Amino acid sequence: MRVAAGLLGAALAACGPSSPAVDAGGGPDARLVDARADGATPDGFTPDSLPPDAPLPDGRGVDAGGCTTATFVLDGALDASAPVIAGGVTSVRLAVTVTAAGVLYVATDDAGEGSDHFVLVSGTAPGAAALAAPFAKAGTVAAGTGPLLFLADENDNDFEGWFRRETGTGDTLLSGTGYDAATGSNGGVLEGTLDLAVAFGAVPTTVYLAAVPYASADGGGLVGAAQTPTGDGDGDVEAAEYVAVSTACP
């Protein structure tokens, strides 16, 4: 599994727990880390010394550890197989891994500290097209030519789930085989699994992800200082504010 991002890093501190249960892996410089424990570091994660699998558009690239064969326990604690791919010491981080069977696992810091949290997932590259932000929030989110899905966690209750953002208005709750989610107590994570073939009709070669917090009220704005990858602060999630993750196994 390879990961590319046009925008990585920046210490963020706008919302979320002060000591969330997401392992930042590579430390405050927000570089990607290999999920394989190659050495005896304190948290079991070490930077990967291998070269990037392929050149990336911005000249940066890191091996994210390949495809796991593990199953996931959704209990509100970050799964050990999922490296944090951006954010460093932040309040809303993003962790991801893909299994050899085409199951995507994502996690971000949970809601409950003043904002609603979302993980956007597209199977096609976001471009100039935009949809209204999920859950009647302010602003727009960039979309590709296929469906835009998202995992949601509300600040004011214990609800979490998978949705599809519709091209008109509204969000469609997705349930059944292929869509699972959980949160823990405050200070844990929002995590979910998505069967990519069920969600998109086939496993895409690349998925595009963003972790985005919004103020909890209807019409609440994007908390731009805390999104992952980092954004430009204009209140919209643009195409460059997604991270691209290859689903191919080495």
**pTM score of the predicted model:** 0.75
Query: Average pLDDT of 76-95?
Result: 78
CA 199 – CA 48 distance, rounded (Å) = 31
In this prediction, residue 71 carries a pLDDT of: 82
Give 64's contacts (C-beta < 8 A, 6+ positions apart): 1, 2, 3, 32, 34, 35, 83, 85, 97, 245
d(CA 126, CA 165): 14
> C-alpha distances in angstroms, 142 versus 3, 39, 65, 132?
19, 39, 28, 9
pLDDT in tens, 122-139: 999 999 999 999 999 999
Q: What is the pLDDT of residue 86?
A: 58
Out of 15-19, 93-97, 173-177, 200-204, which region has the weakest mean confidence (pLDDT)? 15-19
121 Cβ neighbours under 8 A, 6+ residues apart: 104, 106, 148, 149, 150, 151, 194, 199, 207, 208, 209
In this predicted structure, what is the pLDDT of residue 68?
A: 72
The better pLDDT of the pair 87, 181 is held by 181
- Residue 15 in this model has a pLDDT that exceeds 90: no
Secondary structure (3-state) at 210: strand
Q: Kindly list the domain boundaries of the chain, sorted by start residue.
A: 2-246
pLDDT digits (tens, 9 = 90+) for 191-217: 999 999 999 999 999 999 999 999 999
Please tell me the predicted confidence (pLDDT) of residue 1: 56
Contacts of 157 (CB under 8 A, 6+ apart): none
pLDDT mean over 219-242: 93
Q: Taking 80 as the threshold, does the pLDDT of residue 28 lie above it?
A: no
Whether residue 65 has pLDDT greater than 50: no
